[in-house]
Structure formats: structure tokens, C-alpha cells
Amino acid sequence: MSVNELFKKDLKVVNIGLKSFYNDLKSQNLTAVHVNWKPKAGGKTRMVSLLDKLKKMN
Amino acid sequence: MENLIEKANQQVLEIIQNARPTLIGLGIAGEVIPGMEKNLFLHAGPPVTWERMSGPMRGAVMAGLIYEGFASTPEEAAKVAASGKIRFEPCHHHQSVGPMAGVVTSSMPVWIIENTTYGNKAFCTLNEGLGKVLRFGAYGEEVITRLKWMEAVLYPVLKEAIAIHGPIDLKNMIAQGVQMGDEVHNRNKASTSLLIREIASSIVKTSFSDEDKVKVFDFLNSNDHTYLNLSMPAAKASLDPAGGVKYSTIVYTMARNGTDFGIRVAGLGDRWFTAPAEIINGLYFPGFTMDDANPDIGDSCITETLGIGGFSMATAPAIVQFVGGTPKDAMRYTTSMYEITTEESKAYKLPPLNFRGAPTGIDIRKVVETQILPVINTGIAHKDPGVGQVGAGIVNPPMACFEQALEAYVKLLEDEGLVE
């Protein structure tokens, strides 16, 4: 499917990341689903390093 | 080397899955709980001093002091509690669990549960009902009168009835309850009914008067939470043998004392990892609001630690009328718990999820990595001593407990030269 064809279709959005993007789309009555996703360990670098240490044991 | 962790966790899950919690009888706390003494008061959650105790915990201690004859008024009880004459230790340090304040004193009757697979025991008091009760921090005359009746009538009748009946397989009974709309933490309607049905003829066969037997039946029947004080020690008995499995990252205790929330991890032994307990989001009784609420309190989240309770809310959609939310929320809570657990229960199957096993074996690594916290449903105690229950709702442990545990776990491996 070409990009031009894509833009002629109804927009259906899967939002990953900031929920405000999803809320904005919903407020405009667009079809959207929000993926409940967070960066690993919430982005806490100390926790990421601890988890990585355990993964490296293998 | 990760196999070291996975192997330990597999061992823990085998222990949990193979547990066979069984009701074997009743006794008096001072006679059956290991280390129990007249001047020792057990309480819910991790260790806490009188000075740091929350209002409902203090209220329950005051009720216990009046009940045991250490004091005759709440004011006198508060002085005795602060005097150093009474020692305070967690129920969990004495093979016990207690709902809400979880205060256990030496004269209180307790259920005795044995995990027949491993031979360990767990103890829990008998449930008093809802509203103005000791476990929610109330200490009025009606509270003490009820406790005395429980000791004088309810206990001997049930003790004799269970002796006549013989041991009762609680794993089987919880499995049935879970398929009948209970999650056996805040919804115990079906399980309480199953218990009464199971022991009815044995109660009738006891040597007590018809009047006493009728009162016992009426008391059990009037309190849907009767079974909570069996599901809790059943969970405790199922999880305790996992406590010594080195290198395991599985949580075997979650508990709160109204001030702090604490967890213990199988590979880290008896060490508590604590952080301030959270305020509960829920439904409040008429006349009360969140401003009246004490932070999270009680050992009852031992059920969630096993994978039932809030973890199995999908099977108990009616519970949302008590704790708030919608049946869709209940489904969402359960499905999200599979993200932070290791296996599905082979015993506790959830019909709304096509009989999928309850999410079992909380892994601290998964909690920290996904930032998904365990879901707990719970009663809400008033923040002041002497008031009692003001509502029920949903709460999570603080993430700090799991992050501290992960720090300690990695440190253990570093100290042993297993990671760099």
C-alpha cells in the first residue's frame, strides 16, 4: 500500500509511550488504543544496571 | 549462571505448588504458638515499636490489653503499652498471620493449619466480623464482650467439632471457593458457606447445648469473612517452606503494620524490606472519607503473595461492590499479575479466564523491570484508635520494597563473586 493510499483511509492508532497523545486522539473521536508500556525499570538507571548484571550471569 | 536463579525459583515454585494446607484443629495462642508468652503481643506486618504504631494498631493493642486483664480502661491500656512491660513482635516471626492490626494475645483461640507436604504449621485467630472489631483498632465494651464469647463458646464448640470431623483439606476448599466467585481475601462468601456445610454435622454432634450450637452457627453465618482467617494461614503455611531457598528471587511474604509495608524474598531469608505503607483507594462507609483512612495494614496480603486475593479478582467480579471499580477492572488486575509472576497455580483455577491458574510466584526482578506492582484488595481502618473499619479498596505495595530487595540480592551475589 502506498503512503497516499494510507492517508485516504480512516486513521487507527496504536499509541506507545505518552498517554497524552492517546487522550488527544480520543478527544477528537479518533480510533486509538493505548499500550500500557513503560521503559525498563521505569527508566531508573540504577535498577536497569542491577537487572543487567543478573542477565549477564547467563 | 542465570540458571542458578531459575533453578532456585523453580524449587520455590515446586514448594508452593506442592503445598497441602490442612486445618487440623484449634488451640489457645499461649499454648500452641511457638514462643508465645503472656506479655508478648503479636502484630501484623514487619516489626514496629509502640511509638511508631499507627492508630488502629494502637487501638488493637489497647483492646488486647483490656481483654487480657492488663488494663481496665483504654487510657490505662495506653500507659501499659508504652511502659515497656509488653513486647511486640510480628505474627510472621511466630508462624502466624493476623488480618488488619493482626494483634494476637496469649488467651486468644487460634486455628491450627498444617502444610502436610512439609510438616510446617501456621496459626491465625478466629474472625470477629466487620465494623467495630479489635483487628480494625476498636476497643469498646462490645469488642471485648465478643472476644470473651469467642473464647468461652465459639472456640470450644469449633475445637470439638473439628476433632470429631477430622482434618479438612483447605487447598481443596479454597480451589472450590475460587470457582464459586471468591478470591478468599475480601470475598469469602462461598468459602465460608463451604466450611459451614463441611462441619455442620460435627457441630451438631458436639457435647454443647443446642443454644450454644445455634449461636455458633448464627455467628459463622453472619460473618462472610469467617473463612479469611483460614485462607490466610493456609497461604502462610503454603509459602513458609520457600523461605530458605537460596538465590531465589520469589517473594514469600508481603505484610503491613499500618506504618510500613514489608516484603521478604525466598533467597534473602528472614530479612524485611520496608517502606511507608500507602493510602487505599476505595469505597468508604457512609460518613467517612479518605481523610479518615489509616495507611495499608494487615497480614492478609499473604493471600496475594500466594496468587489468590487481589491477584485472582477476575474470578470474583462481585467483589467490586465492596472494594470499588468494575468487573472489567477485576479482570485487568488479574491479567496484569501474570506479568510479574512465574507460574500459574495448578490448584487455584479461574473460570472467567478459561480456568487459567492463578498468577503465582512474584519475582522481584519482574516487578522492578515492568514497574507493575502487586494488586492488593483490603479493608480500610480509621486512622484513630477505637473507631474500626471505614471502608475497603485497592492498594499497591511501595516500589521501594522491591528495589531495596533487588539491591540486596545483587549485593549477595557480588559478595559471593557470582556477579561483577
| Cβ-Cβ contacts under 8 Å, A33 against chain B | none
DSSP run (H or E) holding B199: helix B189-205
**pLDDT score of B244:** 87
CB B335, CB B314: distance < 8 Å: yes
Using a CB-CB cut-off of 8 Å, the residues of chain B touching A51 are 365, 368-369, 406
Give the best residue of A50, A51, A55 to mutate against chain B (max B CB count within 10 A). A50
Judge whether residue B117 has pLDDT over 80.
Answer: yes
Domain B243-415: CATH superfamily, name plus number: v583 domain like (3.90.1700.10)
Q: In whole angstroms, how far apart are CA A54 and each of A42, B260, B369, B414?
A: 18, 28, 12, 10
The pLDDT value given to residue B2: 54
Q: Tell how strand B281-284 and strand B389-395 pair up.
A: antiparallel
Amino acid B183: pLDDT: 97
Domain boundaries in chain B? 20-234, 243-415
Cβ–Cβ below 8 Å for A51 and B4: no
Q: CA nearest A43 in B: which residue?
A: B369
Tell me which chain A residues have a C-beta less than 8 angstroms from the C-beta of B3: 58
ipTM for the complex shown: 0.91
Question: Across the interface, do A58 and B368 touch by the CB < 8 Å criterion?
Answer: no
| Cα angle, residue B226 at apex, residues B218 and B358 outer, rounded to 5° | 145
Summarize the confidence of residues B77-103 as an average pLDDT: 97
Cβ–Cβ gap A50/B413 under 8 Å: no
Residue pair B118/B38 in contact by the 8 Å Cβ criterion: no
The CATH superfamily holding the domain B20-234 is Enterococcus faecalis V583 domain (3.90.1710.10)
Measured between alpha carbons, how far is B204 from B87 in angstroms, rounded to an integer?
A: 40
pLDDT tens, position by position, B6-56: 999 999 999 999 999 999 999 999 999 999 999 999 999 999 999 999 999
Write down the mean pLDDT value for chain A.
89
